[in-house]
Structure 1
């Protein structure tokens, strides 16, 4: 292309140069969300509201590459109900307004979890009926507030134990195992349109935990509980990556239940990787690309989201787990996702 320009003269050369400039500008402007669109795939990340407010380089990434957002902390229970029946939606509303303004979808995370529970709950003494009322009121108040703004909720988060079976939590101990089914029903009553997900970690491959998650959601489906999908968090490591064949098989068995899959909290640990920094980044990138390829090929994988945006604001500091470095430059992980979405 460039050699041909040198043989042009006058207006022809100017017009050709302008055309090349426009084409290059269009290519540079095409973000990950544009590539993901042909796969009907949502792509995005978890948002720290501090950066959303005062970091234009941060928001430039969101607006170029993402079409779905989730709050890291602003919609969790301790943030939304810091005192009993006193709700605070200020930060969540800020993110919802931003997402709507930029034509992005918004995931809600999370209505019920055993962590980041407000102190007024953990320091109290509650019987079953009292805690049930607290759970119902919280779920329905928050879900109703964001009706029409949040398109999908992580209704229950991390309820399966790492050692197998149900996790021993305040909710499970007081309300019994079937609190999960009731939580989903309360959410559906409050927002009939939002998609409802169960979300967990270390459950992407075929293992005891993923089998327990599968058994849980299969039982919920059989009971007629309104569950639409499973969130696979996918906090991975290059030192022990999952089998992509197992990830695909796991997604397939969930598809057979009629459930969507969202990859909800993707990042990749690489500390201790035996190689140069360049080799380390390449290994992280390969894992990003491999997972996106599996997601694109699965009929029911409809979202890929990272837990954070850039390496200067991650829960894994020093581990370079995300697609952008601390100066907001795209890393090999970014380009691996780009190529996976292009089908190359």
Structure 2
């Protein structure tokens, strides 16, 4: 993304995380009240929106998004199972609302995602008898899908997560149906089809845990392979589903350096910070990962203690100091959800928990200490 497009969100901050901690940090009359002012020309600040927000049923959330963010990602409504649920059947209702919301409010609008092993119906990979498609038939189906979806939003959606989560933790390709039927070049073909459908759109590879050396090396191989074939790839998205302690800042910095060295931008596309115990789940963001509920893994039902709020603010502050240091290599920071109540981390990897990973509290007030830490990252 060219520097002329780096227009950053205006986030007006008021309130705090909990009634019990409103006095923890007070708004200074002399500090900027909006992140746009403080982060001018650095990078986009994005947010993932759900259907209720996109169509306006969550009016409060939609108003906050319109006022305070300048980039949008859809949580689900551009995934294959939502937009193309059956052969020859497309449902653009929710996706159109999302895209219209972004374009009407002059936001850098993202398409998520074209190729993923999850949330893709079984019929995509099968013929009318339920048998696996041939390579040629699946490529034809993939190209038709990309032409239809990307073509519909040509010029409106500015960047696409073309391929999502194609790697195992060791950097090898995931044994998905895309790989089994098409072969290793399914990634290259998807990028080719997307580039042809909208030559002006930015094209991304998106994955979690790219801070891990082996998995990051796999992503670097994908980037170099695409570039070696003359296929467009604009950026890599590190999903950044982090915890209060992991990964450490030096590791995140190494991630930025390694990807920037390949000549692509580095985006942090699904940023949230899990403040809860892991519950024995493996260190991954795979949606299939689950663990058993226990009250000891849900300790903050009544609100976050002040010391945990301080830890969360410190963590965000450290990350944003790093983002500012490498702003020339970073185009976008996207939070994966607007409020804590919207976050997938309430139900993953353990259902029914109360998590606090985002900028906004459940009552739509900002987390004041987090806001202050983010602004101070520029000092």
Shorter-normalised TM-score: what interval? 0.7 to 0.9
Indicate the residue corresponding to 2:306 in structure 1: 278
- Between 284-293 and 316-325, the greater mean CA deviation after superposition: 284-293
Structure 1 unaligned residues grouped into runs of 5+: 1-22
Residue 221 to residue 135, structure 1, CA distance change in 2 (3 Å): same
CA distance in 1, matches of 2:237, 2:111: 12
Indicate the residue corresponding to 2:224 in structure 1: 218
CA distance in 1, matches of 2:36, 2:118: 32
Mapped pair 1:322 → 2:329: no
Indicate the residue corresponding to 1:265 in structure 2: 270
SS across alignment from 1:199: strand
| TM-score, scaled to structure 1 | 0.86
Bigger radius of gyration, 1 or 2?
1
CA contact under 8 A between 1:230 and 1:262: conserved in structure 2? yes
Indicate the residue corresponding to 2:178 in structure 1: 171
CA contact under 8 A between 1:292 and 1:304: conserved in structure 2? no
SS across alignment from 1:312: helix
CA distance in 2, matches of 1:334, 1:65: 13
- Where is the helix percentage greater, Structure 1 or Structure 2? 1
CA distance in 2, matches of 1:206, 1:119: 31
Indicate the residue corresponding to 2:337 in structure 1: 308
CA contact under 8 A between 1:285 and 1:333: conserved in structure 2? yes
SS across alignment from 1:54: coil
| TM-score, scaled to structure 2 | 0.78
SS across alignment from 1:100: helix
- Between 52-61 and 150-159, the greater mean CA deviation after superposition: 52-61
Indicate the residue corresponding to 1:51 in structure 2: 53
CA contact under 8 A between 1:112 and 1:139: conserved in structure 2? no
Match for residue 234 of structure 1 among 240, 246, 267: 240
Mapped pair 1:244 → 2:249: yes
Residue 27 to residue 95, structure 1, CA distance change in 2 (3 Å): farther
CA distance in 2, matches of 1:76, 1:206: 26
The CA deviation at 1:27 is 7.3
Indicate the residue corresponding to 1:180 in structure 2: 187
Indicate the residue corresponding to 2:41 in structure 1: 38
Match for residue 93 of structure 2 among 90, 93, 106: 90
Indicate the residue corresponding to 1:19 in structure 2: none
- Between 194-203 and 135-144, the greater mean CA deviation after superposition: 135-144
SS across alignment from 2:345: coil
Indicate the residue corresponding to 1:143 in structure 2: 150
Indicate the residue corresponding to 2:167 in structure 1: 160
Residue 78 to residue 33, structure 1, CA distance change in 2 (3 Å): farther
CA distance in 2, matches of 1:216, 1:333: 35
CA contact under 8 A between 1:36 and 1:43: conserved in structure 2? no
CA distance in 2, matches of 1:284, 1:133: 47
SS across alignment from 2:242: strand
Indicate the residue corresponding to 1:337 in structure 2: 374
Indicate the residue corresponding to 2:320 in structure 1: 292
Q: Deviations over 1:90-149 (max 9, x none)?
A: 111111111122221101100110000024225632111111111111112111111111
CA contact under 8 A between 1:266 and 1:305: conserved in structure 2? yes
CA contact under 8 A between 1:34 and 1:65: conserved in structure 2? no
Give the alignment's Cα RMSD to 1 decimal: 2.2
The CA deviation at 1:223 is 2.1
Residue 164 to residue 257, structure 1, CA distance change in 2 (3 Å): closer
Report the number of matched residues: 315
CA distance in 2, matches of 1:270, 1:286: 12
The CA deviation at 1:173 is 0.6
**1 or 2 for the larger relative contact order (CA 8 Å, sep ≥6)?**
2
CA contact under 8 A between 2:171 and 2:217: conserved in structure 1? no
Indicate the residue corresponding to 2:214 in structure 1: 208
CA distance in 2, matches of 1:34, 1:62: 17
